[in-house]
């Protein structure tokens, strides 16, 4: 259960790890679903949006809520009470659909996607004033990784979510993105453990070809009605297809609708 100690750690270091953010009875079914989804993408049967390495190997798989993937357990997991008991203290109960994706490892070679912050379209090389303004924005989303097999691929710089980058960190964020950073920490997750963490942290993923990675990344967002619709993230345009909403659990559909009302993209896409 979420406690003040975890809140303090999140505020100070930008992350915390828990053992109880997934129903134990759901672990094996989730693992099986992740393995099936990975095979569907590798075989070419389904590919709604996949991040691939230079040689074409997938390392992140999206489209988990789509009927083409046909794995309803992903939406069931995202709506489950073990997840929500951590989401509500951060975001409240007025939510809109977040997301889920699978992080895996390319089979052909070691792979890493380099140091970065999850700044979206915001300035990535701004002045102290610009960067601190971004870092101090109120939290409107919560993200996490659920390890379905042991995973130490996520590396972070604890505490970097609250401060301006150093000169060496700037070089690692913009130029030499695979160099080590003093104080970096590989978050150790045993199967069934969940890391909740801030995307404002300086972080990277480092994956080894001989170490299986099957990690389910999830997120929820705070609902803010009345805002100006924005262009849909290209990674999420599959969610606008006409067949997606009906595939979701009934309880998730209003949260999907809240997400969709904020999208400027064409509502007429076909599934």
Q: Mean of the pLDDT values across residues 241-258? A: 96
Average pLDDT across the chain, whole number: 92
Q: What is the reported pLDDT for 154?
A: 96
Q: What is the reported pLDDT for 57?
A: 86
Q: Which of 3.40.50.20, 2.60.120.620, 3.30.70.270, 3.40.50.2300 would CATH assign to domain 4-261?
A: 2.60.120.620
Picking from 238, 262, 237, the residue whose alpha carbon sits closest to that of residue 96 is 262
Q: Is the pLDDT of residue 171 over 70?
A: yes
Q: What is the reported pLDDT for 1?
A: 61
Domain boundaries, the chain: 4-261
Q: Is the model more confident about 129 or about 269? A: 129
Q: What is the reported pLDDT for 228?
A: 86
- 77-98 pLDDT, tens digit per residue, is 999 999 999 999 999 999 999 9
DSSP string, 94-159: -EEEEEEEEE---SSS-EE---B---TTS-SS--HHHHHHHHTSPP-EEEEEEESS-B--EEE-TT
- Yes or no: say if 88 and 79 are a contact pair by the CB < 8 Å rule: no
- Residue 270: band (very low, low, confident or very high) from pLDDT cuts 50, 70, 90: very low
- Tokens 């990344």 label which residue? 217
- Yes or no: say if 240 and 269 are a contact pair by the CB < 8 Å rule: yes
């Amino acid at each position: 259960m979420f406690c003040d100690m975890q809140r303090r750690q999140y505020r100070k270091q930008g992350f915390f790890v828990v053992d109880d953010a997934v129903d134990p009875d759901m672990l094996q079914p989730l693992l099986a679903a992740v393995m099936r989804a990975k095979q569907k993408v590798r075989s070419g049967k389904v590919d709604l949006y996949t991040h691939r390495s230079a040689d074409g190997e997938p390392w992140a798989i999206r489209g988990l809520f789509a009927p083409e993937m046909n794995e309803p357990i992903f939406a069931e997991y995202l709506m489950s009470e073990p997840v929500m008991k951590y989401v509500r203290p951060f975001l409240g109960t007025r939510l809109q659909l977040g997301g889920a994706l699978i992080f895996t490892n390319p089979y052909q070679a070691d792979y890493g996607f380099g140091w970065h912050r999850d700044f979206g379209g915001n300035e990535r090389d701004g002045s102290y004033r610009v960067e601190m303004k971004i870092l101090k924005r109120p939290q409107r989303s919560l993200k996490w990784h659920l390890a379905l097999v042991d995973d130490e691929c996520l590396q972070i710089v604890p505490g970097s979510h609250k401060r301006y980058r150093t000169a060496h960190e700037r070089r690692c964020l913009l130029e030499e993105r695979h160099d080590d950073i003093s104080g970096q920490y590989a978050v150790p997750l045993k199967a069934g453990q969940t890391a909740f963490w801030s995307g404002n942290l300086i972080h990277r993923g480092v994956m080894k070809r001989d170490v299986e990675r099957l990690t389910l990344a999830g997120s929820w967002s705070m609902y803010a009605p009345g805002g100006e619709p924005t262009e849909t993230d290209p990674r999420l345009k599959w969610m606008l297809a006409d067949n997606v909403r009906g595939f979701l659990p009934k309880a998730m559909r209003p949260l999907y609708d809240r997400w969709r009302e904020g999208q400027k993209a064409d509502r007429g896409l076909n599934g």
